[in-house]
Amino acid sequence: MTEDQLAIKDAVEKTCSQFGEDYWAKTDETGDWPEEFCNAMAEGGWLGVAFPEEYGGAGLGLTEAALVMQTVTRSGAGYSGASAIHLNIFGPKPLEKFGTPEQKQENLPRIISGEEKMCFAVTEPNSGLDTSSLETKAERTNTGYTINGRKIWTTGAQRADKILIIARTTPKDQASKPYLGLSLFYTDFDRGKIDAKPIPKMGRKAVECNMLYLDGLEVPKEHLIGEEGQGFKYLLQGLNPERVLFAVESVGLGFAALERATTYAKERVVFGRPIGQNQGIQHPLAQRWAELKAAELLAYKAAGLYDQGVDCGAEANAAKLLGTEAGFKACETAVLSHGGMGYAKEYHVERYMREAMLARIAPVSREMILNFIAERVLGLPKSY
């Protein structure tokens, strides 16, 4: 890391230090959105770390964004903290890259400052990872479009005032290719036309996911991002950065768990000796450290390639695979190292483990990553 990057890490650590483990345990218990944390990160300018300075951003790259997000999870905030700001870091990139000057000037500064709160609606109940089979429709009107359909796993919809949504503008059977005919919109979250219902889930209670029901959402034509029918292509622009961010967030969470387990292993005395003196405790912790460091290196390698404008699909996908697995294993080992107390909320590692499971599933499964590597890197025939 350069001196400037280390300064970013130190500054983010200082911000995160205001929000200790008790703060995050409380949000996990109550389900209250971590507003104070989000406001502090916005005030520090971290929501715009990867956006141009002309819109109020820092004009930095994916490497710096990854450093910010890893520092957040490693502070003990875990995914309760990271997911609360994750979308702001790279989610609006389609707007920055393909939006009109008016769209960018109107929205990006407000997103970066935290004033404008957005959610991102892609996944649907019947399509999963098969984005080409999305069923939500955007039908043309005299003034724009009317959107009807359903979305699932939309994060932050309970507080959002804007929604970035992809919908089908050309029926699949009329499109030249299945993934064409999908269009991207950035528009107002009209609660009279969108019903958002939170989904009870395993962890990260403070950052809710929702089922959305869209019934007659009116969207002005000025809210279309780029060209009609090209929405899927625009989404692809953000896939590699998102994989890198999930990788480093998981690695950060794994290091937080490892630190807690190591501290406990030094302090917990059984049979007259600290349990950390036993190789049955030492070796799993040492193995987890090696796995986390290896995944971390690959993630920053991918980020560096992206910042250089070089294709990083293989590295980004592999980093997401290895980072999320290493992070989960570190959290699991931390729970086991605590013995029975690992199951108790007061030591926090059980929360880490629940949250670590999320990144193994979303936004893409391990199996789909392996498919990508098998096909695109190894040249094997498509298996599905």
Share of the chain above pLDDT 90, in %: 97
The dotted CATH code for 235-377 is 1.20.140.10
- Contact of 262 with 286, CB cutoff 8 Å: no
User: Within the chain, which residue ranges are assigned CATH 2.40.110.10?
Assistant: 118-228
Burial letters 244-279, b for 16+ CB under 10 A, else e: bbbbbbbbbbbbbbbebbbebbeebeeeeeebbeee
Mean pLDDT of the 178-184 span: 94
Q: How far is CA 32 from CA 72, 204, 255, in A?
A: 18, 10, 25
User: Within the chain, which residue ranges are assigned CATH 1.10.540.10?
Assistant: 3-113
pLDDT band of residue 178 (cuts 50, 70, 90) is: confident
Enter the tokens of residue 257. Answer: 């768990």
In 3D space, the residue among 238, 242, 244 whose CA is nearest the CA of residue 318 turns out to be 244
Phi, psi of 217 (to 5 degrees): -70, 115
3-113 topology per CATH? Butyryl-Coa Dehydrogenase, subunit A; domain 1 (1.10.540)
Express each pLDDT in 31-50 by its tens digit: 999 999 999 999 999 999 99
| pLDDT score for 129 | 86
70: helix, strand or coil: helix
Flag whether pLDDT at 87 surpasses 90.
Answer: yes
Gap between the Cα atoms of 223 and 188, Å rounded: 9
Q: What angle do CA 285, 203, 32 make, to 5 degrees?
A: 125
pTM of the model: 0.96
Q: Which homologous superfamily does the CATH classification assign to the domain defined by 118-228?
A: Butyryl-CoA Dehydrogenase, subunit A, domain 2 (2.40.110.10)
| pLDDT score for 105 | 97
User: Within the chain, which residue ranges are assigned CATH 1.20.140.10?
Assistant: 235-377
* DSSP H helices in 170-238: 231-236
Express each pLDDT in 209-218 by its tens digit: 999 999 999 9
150: helix, strand or coil: strand
Gap between the Cα atoms of 34 and 157, Å rounded: 14
Express each pLDDT in 309-330 by its tens digit: 999 999 999 999 999 999 999 9
| pLDDT score for 51 | 97
Q: Which own/partner pairs from 262-267 qualify as long-range (CB within 8 Å, at least 24 positions apart)?
A: 264/337, 264/338, 264/341, 264/347, 265/337
Chain mean position to CA 200: 19
Gap between the Cα atoms of 88 and 82, Å rounded: 10
